């Protein structure tokens, strides 16, 4: 049954010389229809000058990225009923242009200036080694399914809009472009894995500029999970290629892991100095940049002591877990495996347990 919705749109007409303003539109629509449909209804029936990019209506073309009640999303796969529920009873559904990109008109942002520039930054095409084979490249079936997750990206920019690192560092390569980078690093046909990883590890705005906030994962309409792809880039850079970057990404990870292996719990007082010594316990090869950062962090550590929250003794001596041996055995057992065991929720879904049964049923019938 059709219901009445109030859409509050952020309007901006660059030709008017006026700043952006809000306009409200009443539309009658079914709750399961999309916010995009609501906006198009307003445009069709009331004001033809409302500008929004849109095309497929089915969340595959990536045109209609906006912010709905503050959350980045595609207007076409956000239902009016859900948007109303989020907005709250009696309140309008608020629709704004995406964040982190300049607004051109109404709900249209300049994706070229931000999003596409960053995509171009990661050398977004396959760089195979040597001439192609006569027929197809022979590659593991799982590898192609695996990179399909990042291939599924429709370049809508929702993650760029929501990215909390980009908000403070506009130079950050960003979630969409880094997911795109994984699409090549995860592709066995690409011959430049190490070069790509080194490039993005050494860039101060590369893989070690992601603040791990999950905002991109939360808003991605295609389950690309850009942050997960960034973490996989880090994993490959450190574990597969041993890339000791000047941003201390490698050092931080190794220091952390080593401390847990040794003590079982985190020992922050050791984390900083060790991070800057590429994670080794005593004689780290410390990069000049790392020394600078270490020095910068000293006042903070000193304040920790001064506030009385940390005693000097505690800062230096970290107690081991009572059964740290067990933790260390786990480390040894797993880290000595030839291949890292990873499962991807994108592929197996939430409930692979149940699905074993479903699969068996399916195969019986066919």
Q: Which residues inside 154-173 make contact with another protein, applying CB under 8 A?
A: 154-155, 164-165, 167-169, 172
The correct pick among 4, 19, 129, 361 for binding another protein (CB under 8 A) is 361
- Contact yes or no for 331/256 (Cβ under 8 A): no
User: What distance in Å separates the CA atoms of residue 140 and residue 355, rounded to the nearest whole number?
Assistant: 23
Of 3-11, 20-28, 90-98, 305-313, which segment contacts another protein by CB under 8 A? 305-313
Contacts of 338 (CB under 8 A, 6+ apart): none
Tell me, what DSSP letter sits at residue 116? I
Of 19-27, 92-100, 280-288, 346-354, which segment contacts another protein by CB under 8 A? 346-354
What are the backbone dihedrals phi and psi of residue 277, each rounded to the nearest 5 degrees, phi first? -115, 40
In the window 13-32, what residues touch another protein (CB under 8 A)? 13-15, 32
202 contacts another protein (rule: CB under 8 A): no
User: What tokens were used for 100?
Assistant: 């982190």
Output 22 or 58, the one with its CB closest to another protein.
Answer: 58
DSSP 39-75: HHHHHHHT-TT-------SSSSS---EEEETTEEEEG
191 contacts another protein (rule: CB under 8 A): no
In the window 46-75, what residues touch another protein (CB under 8 A)? 47-49, 51-63
User: What tokens were used for 121?
Assistant: 């930054």
The correct pick among 2, 20, 113, 126 for binding another protein (CB under 8 A) is 126
**Alpha-carbon torsion, ordered 234, 123, 143, 179, to 10 deg:** 50
Of 90-98, 191-199, 206-214, 280-288, which segment contacts another protein by CB under 8 A? 206-214
Of 3-11, 18-26, 94-102, 348-356, which segment contacts another protein by CB under 8 A? 348-356
113 contacts another protein (rule: CB under 8 A): no
């Amino acid at each position: 049954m059709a219901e009445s919705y109030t859409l509050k749109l952020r309007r901006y007409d660059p030709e008017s010389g006026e700043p952006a303003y809000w306009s409200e539109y009443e539309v009658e629509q079914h709750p399961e229809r999309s916010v995009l449909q609501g906006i198009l209804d307003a445009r069709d029936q009331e004001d033809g000058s409302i500008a929004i990019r849109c095309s497929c209506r089915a969340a595959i073309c990536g045109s209609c990225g906006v912010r709905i009640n503050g959350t980045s999303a595609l207007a076409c796969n956000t239902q009016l009923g859900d948007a109303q529920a989020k907005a709250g009873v009696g309140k309008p559904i608020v629709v704004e242009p995406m964040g982190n990109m300049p607004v051109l008109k109404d709900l249209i942002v300049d994706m070229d200036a931000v999003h596409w520039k960053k995509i171009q930054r990661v050398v977004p095409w396959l760089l195979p080694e040597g001439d192609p084979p006569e027929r197809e490249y022979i590659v593991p079936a799982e590898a192609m399914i695996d990179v399909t997750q990042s291939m599924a990206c429709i370049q809508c920019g929702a993650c760029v809009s929501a990215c909390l690192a980009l908000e403070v560092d506009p130079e950050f390569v960003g979630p969409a472009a880094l997911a795109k980078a994984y699409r090549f690093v995860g592709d066995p046909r690409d011959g430049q894995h190490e070069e790509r990883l080194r490039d993005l590890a050494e860039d101060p705005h590369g893989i070690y500029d992601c603040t791990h906030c999950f905002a991109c994962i939360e808003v991605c309409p295609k389950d690309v999970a850009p942050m997960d792809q960034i973490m996989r880039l880090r994993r490959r850079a450190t574990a597969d290629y041993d890339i000791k970057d000047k941003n201390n990404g490698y050092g931080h990870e190794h220091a952390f892991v080593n401390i847990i292996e040794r003590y079982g719990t985190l020992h922050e007082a050791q984390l900083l100095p060790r991070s800057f010594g590429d994670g080794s316990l005593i004689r780290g090869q410390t990069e000049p940049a790392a020394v600078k950062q270490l020095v910068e962090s000293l006042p903070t550590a000193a304040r920790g002591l001064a506030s009385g929250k940390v005693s000097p003794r505690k800062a230096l001596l970290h107690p081991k877990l009572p059964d740290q041996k067990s933790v260390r055995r786990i480390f040894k057992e797993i880290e000595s495996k030839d291949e890292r065991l990873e499962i991807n929720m994108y592929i197996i879904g939430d409930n692979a347990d149940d699905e074993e049964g479903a699969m068996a049923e399916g195969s019986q019938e066919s």
